[in-house]
């Protein structure tokens, strides 16, 4: 179930206090209307009843999409993430088989079912709303966010090579998906300007994606299967360490 509570917050504009719904956890199965609200970020927008100004309220929450076996923990960059990371590491590690209670221990069947279900979940930690929306877009497109991050590095390097005469250097990249148009894109931002380079998820990018699936399957199903922070730095480390093996 979702966990939502009214809390008093201070309007960033007029500094008066008013109630706002704070969602500690969001479950799209029990509250299906939140599926679209989080993708529009409307769930986090506060309209002050006094000055009528609208603000996006930045706070931590858990996004739970049960039908996709997906949990995304959003933790703003100014908040500590170590506790959540340690919790996920413990969940990912599970209880060693030789320490698990036997059938006489009284462990309920419901607990065993929950344990088995959680073993198949994807857990992610994100620190910005843009990163959160990108994760949703990737999973909405039925893609593996780990492979997408690897592809962003590979395709970004090729984009830099083709745009070398302009001095274009990749600062960051993000995945874009239009469900209505079934249109997937990689968008690269330049380090030294406001320019962007957009690469459609056409045959070239799809081929890169599929090659990466084959090349890194063992690593992603082995030592990196339970990684929770999947971003550009993670991808660069994978490409460096796995290529060196």
Phi, psi (deg, nearest 5) at residue 136: -60, -45
Instruction: Report pLDDT for 242.
Output: 78
The residue with greater pLDDT, 119 or 198, is: 198
The pLDDT value given to residue 117: 58
Token code pair at residue 33? 């209307």
pTM comes to: 0.86
Confidence of residue 96 (pLDDT cuts 50, 70, 90): very low
Say how far apart CA 125 and CA 84 lie, in whole Å: 8
Distance separating alpha carbons of residues 151 and 217, to the nearest angstrom: 14
139-166 per-position pLDDT tens digit: 999 999 999 999 999 999 999 999 999 9
When pLDDT is cut at 50, 70 and 90, the band that residue 113 belongs to is low
Q: Between these two residues, 17 and 96, which has the higher pLDDT value?
A: 17
CA dist., res. 69 & res. 114, Å (int): 12
Which are the contacts of 10, defined by CB distance < 8 A and separation ≥ 6?
16, 17
Mean pLDDT, the chain, whole residue set? 89
Helix axes 203-221, 232-244, angle to 10 degrees: 70
Q: Give the residue among 181, 179, 175, 178 at the shortest CA–CA distance from 232.
A: 175
């Amino acid at each position: 179930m979702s966990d939502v509570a009214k809390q008093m917050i201070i309007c960033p504009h007029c500094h008066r206090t008013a109630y706002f719904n704070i969602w500690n956890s969001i479950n799209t199965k029990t509250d299906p209307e939140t599926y679209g609200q989080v993708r529009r970020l409307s769930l986090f927008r506060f309209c002050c009843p006094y000055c009528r100004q609208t603000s996006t309220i930045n706070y931590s929450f858990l996004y739970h999409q049960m039908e996709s076996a997906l949990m995304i923990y959003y933790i703003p960059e100014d908040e500590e993430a170590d506790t959540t990371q340690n919790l996920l590491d413990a969940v990912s590690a599970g209880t060693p088989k030789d320490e698990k209670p036997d059938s006489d221990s009284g462990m309920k069947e419901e607990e065993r079912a929950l344990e088995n279900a959680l073993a198949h979940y994807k857990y992610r930690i994100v620190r910005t709303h843009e990163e959160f929306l990108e994760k949703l877009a990737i999973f909405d497109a039925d893609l593996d966010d780990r492979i997408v991050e690897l592809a962003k590095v590979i395709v970004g390097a090729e984009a830099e090579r083709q745009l070398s005469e302009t001095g274009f250097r990749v600062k960051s990249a993000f995945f874009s998906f239009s469900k209505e148009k079934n249109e997937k894109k990689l968008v690269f931002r330049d380090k030294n300007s406001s320019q962007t380079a957009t690469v459609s998820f056409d045959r070239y990018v799809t081929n890169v994606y599929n090659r990466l699936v084959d090349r890194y399957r063992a690593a992603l199903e082995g030592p990196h299967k339970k990684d929770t922070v999947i971003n550009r730095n993670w991808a660069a480390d994978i490409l460096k360490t796995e290529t060196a093996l």
